[in-house]
Amino acid sequence: MRSKQSVTPSEWFECKLAASKDTPEYELEWLLLDIEEALHTSMEAQGITRSELADRLGTSRAFITKLLGGQENLTLKTLVRVANALEMKVDTRFIPRERAAKPAKKQQVKTAVGPKMRRAPASSLSALWGRC
């Protein structure tokens, strides 16, 4: 039997995830994941390999691997160079922030983790883990 103050691992995770969603670190990780996914999709659609993209950019395949794996600092300059190498353009827009109402204490927060989540942004969100 659980005490009133104990929390299941699932409840704890949901609380942490909900608390992190309005942070710049969370938004940055999702933006990077969206960019990585768009690059992978464009390369696949055009049949371009990492080696071919590296040749087009005049860089190493290792750099492309790091870039596509989120291990390389992605500057706007690099993003535009990669887009040009893929014969694409970068499109940016600012959209209104949608903030969900905070749930009541006993209500369970339900979230969906999308298929784009290939890696967890644990390093940038580690400071948040003590809140719930």
Q: What is residue 103's predicted lDDT score, i.e. its pLDDT? A: 46
- Evaluate if residue 117 carries a pLDDT over 90: no
DSSP-assigned letters across all residues of 50-72: HHHHHHHHTS-HHHHHHHHTT-S
| pTM score over 0.75 | no
* Residues sharing a CB contact under 8 Å with residue 11, sequence separation 6 or more, in sequence order: 108
pLDDT tens-digit series, residues 35-61: 999 999 999 999 999 999 999 999 999
Give the distance from CA 127 to its chain's centroid.
17
